[in-house]
């Protein structure tokens, strides 16, 4: 066999190296519904957090494969250390983590330090930030933080970021200590929420209101392009620290073990770019996936029978190697009533009867069978599937469909037709019309048609007011809507997540209904402090019953979601309480079969 001259071997190696360098980037393509922006303190929707979670980093994250879920350090050097009474928690930030470059840093590398987390958490409390995340972090009871916010509100003065408070103490450059008003055994769950991710103060102060479109974080990706409601592009952060794929799937989790075997030890992120097509209509979303234009989608319910007839992947997709995963989500689709609205809101018997009658008139079973193609379970309480405090045998009026009972309630409390036009009037005799916020999409119109049918069956006239989702969300937080149907998802495995929507202190944040009942507020405080056990389960039961009795929200379903992906996407497993997964998957360059 002839031996090649050394110069030819060297040339061949250079060509091979050049080809390797010229290899096309690994680009993940997905479809998503409309976003609102990319400031972790100022957004509250899953679509935006799915992007934010890859740009900014909280102290902790969830293991991508562990079930039951498990918290692990992300930017923290180790898990937070508690005091014996769970009132003091100390955490150390891993040295050597840097923000992506930004003009605000003056051309110098900017290291992530403990003060960045102290500042970022203070931002949630600043009234000027208008953070949906405040209602959650307030429940953590960080000493002095709520009082600092209250002073800014009452005195109409700027929030004081520099005043020391006992709850947030920077012990040294990389060590942060939290002091809580009461014991919080599950406090680390707050430190994994996207809203607590670190931002750089100098960037926020330089950007002001533009922070929503100018995200600068320490995460594995950075924002490369954003055309609102059209296209989002993330690209690999070139300065991202060395981080390797680690996970702990259960020993009997064959799929998880297979993913671990393939990806363990790989440097993250494994892909170079993420291109997100913003598509609100479901048919184009499905067609984009079918045509290979996207690698991953949440399967629209309307195409379930096409893609997964009888719960099994359709043969034409199976032949292409398409993967599928169906999961009941730790979330709820609900209709909220503005408790400050003069007609549907309030705590008087007539208003409570109206809300409960509307709830009884909504045909949840038909919604599941016809609109969701069987992919949901009726909601009994706000403590959803996968959360502590969830009882699969617990039943309530939330899932009851009884137009006869609804009509009887309305008659009993004076919601009757007084002028003979066929529609019920208010107890004071004035004409009454339900005003339902909605979105201008084909899927939403189908839900509106069912809602209209159900309300007409009990003599209530309803009108629909359409606007894009971000606009409706903003109006709901401002208390400007009468009613709106929307989904919410838990961001941690504690059952308190579902009840925070009923906390009076969260009005204008996660509490879109602005419900404020002292008995419920007290029940939430007890649940926050109690350790896991029988006493806490009893407290959950009490709180659930209050949600049914007053009905500021008609809880409708816990939807199932089906993810589909093409075979080149490797390592996907649906997150339950978190949003980041782009950094823990790879793309196989091998063509589809």
Q: Is residue 102 part of a domain?
A: yes
pLDDT-based confidence at residue 590 (cuts at 50, 70, 90): low
Q: Is residue 379 part of a domain?
A: yes
Q: Give the structural domain span for 96.
A: 35-217
Q: Is residue 421 part of a domain?
A: yes
pLDDT at 355 over 70: yes
Domain end position, chosen among 217, 242, 260: 217
**Residue 310 confidence (pLDDT):** 86
pLDDT tens-place string over residues 109-142: 999 999 999 999 999 999 999 998 898 899 899 9
pLDDT-based confidence at residue 489 (cuts at 50, 70, 90): confident
pLDDT-based confidence at residue 11 (cuts at 50, 70, 90): very low
Q: Which residues contact 538 (CB under 8 A, 6 or more apart)?
A: none
Burial-class residue 13 by CB neighbours within 10 Å (0-12, 13-18, 19+). Answer: exposed
Domain end position, chosen among 173, 190, 217: 217
**HEC-encoded secondary structure of 129-145:** HCCCCHHHHHCCCECCH
- Among residues 517, 520, 501, 518, the alpha carbon closest in space to that of 509 is found at 501
Check which CATH number belongs to the domain holding 57 and give it. Answer: 3.40.190.10
**Residue 508 confidence (pLDDT):** 87
pLDDT-based confidence at residue 450 (cuts at 50, 70, 90): very high
pLDDT at 486 over 90: yes
Q: Is residue 235 part of a domain?
A: no
Q: At 488, give phi and psi (nearest 5°).
A: -135, 145
The pLDDT > 70 percentage for the chain reads 96
**Residue 99 confidence (pLDDT):** 98
Residue holding tokens 């950094």? 583
**Residue 404 confidence (pLDDT):** 98
pLDDT at 356 over 60: yes
Check which CATH number belongs to the domain holding 411 and give it. Answer: 3.10.105.10
**Residue 571 confidence (pLDDT):** 96
Q: Is residue 12 part of a domain?
A: no
Average pLDDT estimate for 513-523 = 96
Q: Is residue 574 part of a domain?
A: no
**Residue 20 confidence (pLDDT):** 46
pLDDT at 10 over 80: no
Residue holding tokens 């091979």? 16
Query: CB of 85 within 8 A of CB of 183?
Result: yes
Q: To 10 degrees, what angle do helices 349-361 and 442-456 make? A: 120
Burial-class residue 409 by CB neighbours within 10 Å (0-12, 13-18, 19+). Answer: buried
- DSSP readout, 78-126? SPPEEPTTSSEEEEEBPTT-BPPP-GGGTTS--B--HHHHHHHHHHHH-
Q: What is the DSSP letter of 252?
A: T
Average pLDDT estimate for 300-312 = 89
CA distance 286 to 291: 9
Q: Please tell me whether the peptide bond between 235 and the residue prior to it is cis, using omega within 30 degrees of 0.
A: no
Domain end position, chosen among 191, 217, 243: 217
pLDDT-based confidence at residue 1 (cuts at 50, 70, 90): very low
pLDDT at 2 over 80: no
pLDDT at 591 over 80: no
Average pLDDT estimate for 135-164 = 94
CA distance 547 to 383: 10
**Residue 15 confidence (pLDDT):** 45
CA distance 122 to 142: 10
- Using DSSP bridges, classify how beta strands 462-466 and 434-438 pair: parallel, antiparallel or unpaired: parallel
Q: Is residue 545 part of a domain?
A: yes
CA distance 262 to 588: 12
pLDDT-based confidence at residue 22 (cuts at 50, 70, 90): low
> Encoding tokens for residue 449?
């048609």
Helix (H, G, I), strand (E, B) or coil at 172: strand
Query: CB of 426 within 8 A of CB of 353?
Result: no
Q: Is residue 144 part of a domain?
A: yes
**Residue 21 confidence (pLDDT):** 52
pLDDT tens-place string over residues 194-238: 999 999 999 999 999 899 999 999 999 999 999 998 999 999 999
pLDDT at 529 over 70: yes
- Number of folded domains that form the chain: 2
**Residue 203 confidence (pLDDT):** 98
**520: part of which helix (H) or strand (E)?**
helix 518-529
Q: Do both 211 and 352 map to the same domain?
A: no
Query: CB of 485 within 8 A of CB of 520?
Result: no
Question: What is the pTM assigned to this prediction?
Answer: 0.84
**Residue 282 confidence (pLDDT):** 87
Query: CB of 489 within 8 A of CB of 329?
Result: yes
Helix (H, G, I), strand (E, B) or coil at 268: coil
- Among residues 419, 402, 414, the alpha carbon closest in space to that of 353 is found at 414
Q: Do both 208 and 342 map to the same domain?
A: no
How does the average pLDDT of the chain come out, rounded? 93
pLDDT-based confidence at residue 368 (cuts at 50, 70, 90): very high
Query: CB of 359 within 8 A of CB of 367?
Result: no
Q: Do both 522 and 380 map to the same domain?
A: yes
């Amino acid at each position: 066999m002839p031996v090649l001259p050394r110069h030819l071997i060297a040339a061949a190696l250079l060509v091979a190296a050049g080809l390797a360098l010229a290899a096309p980037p690994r680009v993940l393509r997905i479809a998503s519904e409309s976003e609102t922006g990319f400031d972790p303190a100022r957004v509250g929707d899953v679509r935006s957090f799915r992007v934010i979670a890859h740009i900014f980093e909280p102290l902790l994250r969830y293991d991508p494969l562990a079930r039951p879920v498990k918290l692990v350090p992300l930017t923290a050097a180790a898990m937070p250390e508690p005091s014996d009474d769970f009132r003091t928690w100390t955490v150390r930030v891993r040295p050597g983590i840097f923000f992506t470059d930004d003009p605000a840093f003056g051309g110098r590398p900017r290291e992530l330090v403990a003060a960045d987390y102290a500042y970022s958490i203070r931002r949630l409390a600043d009234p000027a930030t208008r953070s949906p995340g405040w209602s959650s972090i307030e429940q953590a009871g960080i000493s002095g933080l709520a009082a600092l916010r209250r002073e800014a509100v009452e005195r109409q003065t700027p929030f004081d970021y520099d005043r020391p408070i006992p709850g947030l103490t920077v012990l040294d450059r990389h060590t942060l200590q939290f002091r809580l008003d009461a014991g919080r055994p599950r406090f680390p769950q707050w430190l994994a929420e996207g809203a607590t991710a670190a931002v750089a103060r100098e960037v926020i102060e330089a950007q002001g209101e533009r922070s929503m479109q100018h995200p600068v974080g320490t995460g594995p990706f950075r924002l490369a392009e954003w055309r609102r409601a059209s296209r989002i592009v993330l690209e690999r952060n070139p300065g991202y620290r060395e981080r390797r794929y680690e996970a702990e799937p259960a020993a009997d989790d064959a799929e998880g073990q297979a993913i671990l075997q393939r990806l363990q030890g790989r440097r993250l992120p494994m892909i170079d770019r993420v291109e997100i097509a913003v598509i609100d209509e479901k048919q184009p979303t499905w067609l984009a996936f079918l045509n290979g234009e996207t690698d991953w989608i949440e399967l629209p319910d309307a195409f379930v029978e096409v893609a997964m007839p009888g719960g099994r992947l359709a043969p034409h997709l199976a032949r292409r190697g398409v993967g599928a995963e169906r999961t009941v989500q730790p979330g709820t689709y609900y209709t909220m009533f503005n408790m400050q609205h003069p007609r549907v809101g309030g705590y008087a018997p007539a208003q409570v009867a109206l809300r409960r009658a509307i709830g009884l008139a909504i045909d949840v079973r038909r919604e599941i069978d016809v609109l969701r193609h069987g992919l949901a379970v009726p909601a009994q309480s706000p403590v959803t599937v996968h959360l502590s405090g969830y009882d699969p045998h617990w039943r309530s009026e939330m899932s009851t469909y009884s137009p006869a009972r609804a009509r009887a309630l309305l008659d009993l409390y004076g919601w009757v037709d007084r002028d003979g036009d066929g529609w019920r009037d208010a107890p004071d005799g004035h004409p009454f019309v339900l005003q339902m916020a909605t979105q201008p999409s084909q899927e939403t119109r189908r839900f509106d048609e069912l809602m209209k049918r159900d309300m007409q069956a009990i003599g209530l006239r309803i009108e629909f007011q359409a606007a894009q989702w971000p606009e409706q969300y903003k109006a709901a937080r401002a208390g400007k809507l009468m009613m709106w149907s929307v989904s919410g998802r838990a961001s941690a495995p504690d059952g308190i997540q579902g009840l925070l929507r009923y906390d009076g202190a969260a009005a204008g944040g996660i509490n879109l209904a602005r419900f404020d009942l002292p008995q419920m507020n007290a029940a939430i405080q007890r649940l926050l402090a109690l350790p896991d056990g029988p006493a806490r389960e009893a407290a959950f039961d009490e709180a659930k019953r209050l949600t049914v009795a007053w009905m500021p929200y008609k809880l409708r379903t816990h939807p199932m979601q089906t993810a589909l992906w093409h075979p080149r996407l490797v390592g996907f497993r649906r997150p339950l309480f978190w949003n980041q997964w782009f950094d823990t998957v790879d793309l196989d360059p091998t063509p589809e079969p």
